[in-house]
Amino acid sequence: MEGMTYLAVAYFGMIIAVGLWTYTVVQRSRHLSERMDALEAAVKATSSEVVEE
Amino acid sequence: MARTLVEAVGIEVRRGMGVVLSNHHLELNQGDIMVLEGANGSGKSTLIEAVARLLPLEKGHISHGEHLVVDHEGRRKPSPLNVSLVLQKNGLLGCERVQEHLDIAMRMTGSTIDSTHFLEAFSLTHRASDNISNLSQGQARKVAVLSALLPAFASSEPCIVLMDEPDAGLDDRSMDALCGWITELNHLGHGLIISTHDERIKSLATVRHHLPDGTTTAVQNENHETKLSPQRPNSQQTQITPGQFGWNMQWRTLAWLNQNAMAALLTLGILLSLGELSDNLTEMQQLGFILAPALAAGLCGDAMVAMCREERTASWWYCVGTGTPHSGMLPFLLGGGITLLSSIAHTGSIELNTMVIGAILTGCVAHLLRFAQQSTERLARPQAVFIGLLTPVLILPYALLLDLLTR
Amino acid sequence: MKMKVGEALLLFGFIGIATTMLLAFLWAPSVSINAFESPAAQRIFYWHVPSAWAAFIAFGALFVGSVGWMFKRSELMWRIHIAGSEAGLATGLMTVWSGCVWGAAEWGTPWDWSDVRLNTFGLLTLLAIYLVLGRNSQPDGVETRDTFAAFGLYGFILVPFTYVATRIWSIRHPGPVIGTDDGGSLNADMGLILLFGTLSFTLLIFGHMLTSMRITSFEQRIEALQIQLDGGK
């Protein structure tokens, strides 16, 4: 049973690590997407100001 | 008809994320003083470095004489002509001496001349035996400029002289001397490419090359009447090789002691502190203990790589010499010495075979690491790269070597 | 929020991996005490082998991306290089870590410096760490890309070497159990769990690479927009 406990701890540790890694990657992707949308809006706003002038 | 010294055909060069030169053409003939004109960031330095074979090409090719030296397929060959260079960085090591550096530069052409007059004109006579590190910025700049001019004066063959802002930091008297020398080199039949904002040097141009468009304008100038200046008397001298230079600098600075020898001695000390444990080892393990300091010394790499990042010395050597400076035979000697010490300390006896193996081990590992370090030199911050992460790859061959030696 | 393809693959892959773990504990048949020193630790096989497979996919992508950048100067290929190096780092560490856990239980030592396959796989993982950390320390540019793509090219030579190593050398690491001429030595139930784990890791690694490529594309676009807002070209 000791072997199985040892194995279970290792497995859970790896699952948690993979989960964390997956989560950070997805979060970064979404954060960058929001940043990009904001920048594109700013560029669009700046271009329309120039046109108006 | 004047011989073509440099021809760049349709070259494209990138820096960072941008294209600096695109479909660019250039032709430098014997007797040309080509001045590069353009705003900051138009590609003057990039063009000089490309001609000096320091930058890869995305498109096109560059020839020196009739020989291709760089192309877009990654080919890079030594120039068949003598090339001298001064970049915006001086290309000098602080531990070099003034006269020494000038002699090295001249010896790249196979001959030297008396440089006394040049040192006098630049007010450097009293500094001829000084270390570069003892000079002011302006004085060091003068040495760098002389290291681009003197090889051409010493050379019996037409030389390509590349100068990136040679006027930076020079006083009026020095500028007068520099302009005189540029004119003299023109009359000697050498070809010069100069990037400058100084009007005095610009007025000497026989050709003005505009950047970024790459158009060329010939300039009529009374100084350009065909005149031949007499060749200054020279004497034959062999080149200093990168290995010789590295050896000299290593012994002068003892950088190998700080970087390689200390690591080896520490390793030896730690192993010796295990005391009784080392008496109960198998033959393979004992050999591993004896050779471990030699491996540690090699794993620290070549101190010359870091030294040559100073003032772009490695780039200067690559352009004008036969390669970048390295420690040559020093790692082999160090490996043999440290293995001798380790052998005596562990076994009380001297084993010549083991010493030779230790010498080869340190030498090969140090030079292998040098190649890996040099492969990152194009990066903006090469010192920030974790080359050390790749060194564990050498543990397996070390283990296999020990296994082989003790069979 | 609408889920992208990469995110969906990540999610399904993760669920698959977690399911594989449960199957490994609750359903996988035990191995003989005569064949293994630590029969319980053998169950890590259902993680270790699929993660090694995923690592080979990642290193393959790293190689393709490196070649594509060096010879074609393709932006897409550079993004594949980045995705391959990051995925290779993660899966390489998973493989090495799970292998060390298994090795400690089975061999009494987590690592063997004389084992060719272990060491070449470890080197590939180190290479991935080097590429990821090194690239993050440098500004993006042709110099950075050329340097690290060259390392990626040379490092990949180790991949077939690692695979072939167990066929050539008689070493501590077990030989192949699938893909052999005699049909392999794997029990059917074990094979099923292994297949399920492999598919899950494949989904996970492709999901990660797609998401990573998307991230790189965003970063490049953001840089271009910031330059535009700065008033540059």
**Given this model, what pLDDT does residue C2 score?**
55
**C21-to-B252, B325, C18, C54 alpha-carbon distances in Å:** 62, 55, 5, 16
User: DSSP label at C204?
Assistant: H
State how far Cα B348 lies from the chain centre.
Answer: 43
The answer to whether the Cβ–Cβ distance between B385 and C134 falls below 8 Å is yes
CATH of the structural domain B4-236, one choice from 3.30.70.20, 3.40.50.300, 3.40.50.1980, 3.30.70.1290? 3.40.50.300
**What is the spatial distance between Cα B364 and Cα B292, in angstroms, rounded to a whole number?**
14
Which member of A10, A30, A35 has the closest CB to residue C44? A10
Residue pair B402/B291 in contact (Cβ under 8 Å)? The answer is: yes
**C131-to-B385, C59, C158 alpha-carbon distances in Å:** 9, 12, 15
Confidence of residue A9 (pLDDT cuts 50, 70, 90): confident
Enumerate the CATH 3.40.50.300 domain ranges in chain B, comma separated.
Answer: 4-236
Per-residue pLDDT, averaged over A42-51, amounts to: 79
Per-residue pLDDT, averaged over B384-399, amounts to: 82
Which member of C1, C94, C225 has the closest CB to residue A40? C225
Q: Is C225 on the interface with A (CB under 8 A)?
A: yes
Residues of B in Cβ contact (< 8 Å) with C92: none
Q: How far B59 CA sits from the closest chain C CA (Å)?
A: 12
CA distance from start to end of chain C: 35
Residue pair B132/B143 in contact (Cβ under 8 Å)? The answer is: yes
To the nearest 10 degrees (0 to 180), the angle between helices B395-405 and C116-136 is: 150
Contacts of B229 (CB under 8 A, 6+ apart): B184, B187, B188
The answer to whether the Cβ–Cβ distance between C138 and B58 falls below 8 Å is no
Q: How far C212 CA sits from the closest chain A CA (Å)?
A: 7
Q: Is C105 inside a domain boundary? A: yes
Q: What is the pLDDT of residues B251-277, one digit of tens each?
A: 999 999 999 999 999 999 999 888 765
Q: What range defines the domain where residue C131 resides?
A: 5-25+40-230
Q: Is C32 inside a domain boundary? A: no
Q: Is C173 inside a domain boundary? A: yes
Residues of C in Cβ contact (< 8 Å) with B14: 141-142
ipTM for the assembly: 0.79
**What is the spatial distance between Cα B116 and Cα B125, in angstroms, rounded to a whole number?**
7
Search chain C and give the residue with CA nearest A43.
C229
Q: What is the pLDDT of residues B340-378, one digit of tens each?
A: 999 988 888 888 999 999 999 999 999 999 998 988 888
The answer to whether the Cβ–Cβ distance between C126 and B375 falls below 8 Å is no
Q: Is C14 inside a domain boundary? A: yes
B:C CB pairs within 8 Å: 75
Touching subunits of A (3+ CB pairs, under 8 Å) are C
**C104-to-B345, C37, C44, C69, C179 alpha-carbon distances in Å:** 34, 11, 12, 40, 27
Number of Cβ within a 10 Å radius of residue C134:
23
Tokens of residue C36, six digits: 């293994």
Contacts of C11 (CB under 8 A, 6+ apart): C3, C207
**Given this model, what pLDDT does residue C109 score?**
75
If one counts the domains in chain C, the total is 1
Query: B54-87: buried (b, 16+ CB within 10 Å) or exposed (e) per residue?
Result: bbbbebbbbbbbeeebbbeeeeeeebebbbbbbb
**Given this model, what pLDDT does residue C168 score?**
58
Which of A1, A14, A35 is most worth mutating to test chain C (most C CB atoms within 10 A of its CB)? Answer: A14
Q: Where are the alpha helices (DSSP H) in A1-53?
A: 2-52
The answer to whether the Cβ–Cβ distance between C25 and A21 falls below 8 Å is no
CA distance from start to end of chain A: 78
**Given this model, what pLDDT does residue C159 score?**
64
Q: Is A14 on the interface with C (CB under 8 A)?
A: yes
Q: Is C130 on the interface with B (CB under 8 A)?
A: yes
The answer to whether the Cβ–Cβ distance between B389 and C129 falls below 8 Å is yes
Which residue stretches of chain C have pLDDT < 50? Answer: 1, 170, 177-183, 233
Q: Is B39 on the interface with C (CB under 8 A)?
A: no
Q: What is the pLDDT of residues B71-130, one digit of tens each?
A: 998 899 999 999 999 999 999 999 999 999 999 999 999 999 999 999 999 999 999 999
**What is the spatial distance between Cα C127 and Cα C121, in angstroms, rounded to a whole number?**
10
CA-based torsion, C106, C111, C113, C118: positive or negative: positive
Confidence of residue B189 (pLDDT cuts 50, 70, 90): very high
**Residue B183 vs residue B237, higher pLDDT:** B183
The answer to whether the Cβ–Cβ distance between A19 and C47 falls below 8 Å is no
Q: Which of B235, B211, C14, B239 is nearest to A21 (CA)?
A: C14
Q: Is C30 inside a domain boundary? A: no
**What is the spatial distance between Cα C174 and Cα C185, in angstroms, rounded to a whole number?**
12
Q: Is C34 inside a domain boundary? A: no
Q: How far C181 CA sits from the closest chain A CA (Å)?
A: 32
Q: Which residues pair with B159 in a beta bridge?
A: B82
Residues of C in Cβ contact (< 8 Å) with A15: 17-18, 21
**Given this model, what pLDDT does residue C9 score?**
93
Touching subunits of C (3+ CB pairs, under 8 Å) are A, B
Contact: chain C with chain B (3+ CB pairs below 8 Å): yes
Contact: chain B with chain A (3+ CB pairs below 8 Å): no
Q: How far C168 CA sits from the closest chain A CA (Å)?
A: 31
Q: How far C182 CA sits from the closest chain A CA (Å)?
A: 31
Search chain A and give the residue with CA nearest C37.
A3
Q: Is A42 on the interface with C (CB under 8 A)?
A: yes
Q: Is C122 on the interface with B (CB under 8 A)?
A: yes
Interface of B with C in 348-407 (CB under 8 A): 375-376, 378-381, 384-387, 389-390, 392-393, 395-396, 399-400, 403
Per-residue pLDDT, averaged over B21-30, amounts to: 95
Is residue A20 classed exposed, middle or buried when 0-12, 13-18 and 19+ CB atoms within 10 A define those classes? Answer: exposed
Q: Is C102 inside a domain boundary? A: yes
Assign residue B138 a region: left if phi > 0, alpha if psi is -120 to 50, beta otherwise? alpha
Is residue B90 classed exposed, middle or buried when 0-12, 13-18 and 19+ CB atoms within 10 A define those classes? Answer: buried
Q: What is the pLDDT of residues B302-347, one digit of tens each?
A: 999 999 998 999 999 999 998 999 999 999 999 999 999 999 888 8
Confidence of residue B403 (pLDDT cuts 50, 70, 90): confident
Give me the torsion for CA of B129, B330, B258, B249, rounded to 10°: 20
H/E element holding B23? strand B18-29
Name the pairing type of β-strands B4-15 and B59-64: antiparallel
Contacts of B326 (CB under 8 A, 6+ apart): B242, B243, B246, B302, B304, B305, B367, B370
Q: How far B388 CA sits from the closest chain C CA (Å)?
A: 9
**What is the spatial distance between Cα C6 and Cα C51, in angstroms, rounded to a whole number?**
18
The answer to whether the Cβ–Cβ distance between A4 and C38 falls below 8 Å is no
Q: Is C177 inside a domain boundary? A: yes
H/E element holding B183? helix B172-187
Mean pLDDT of chain B: 91
Contacts of C22 (CB under 8 A, 6+ apart): none
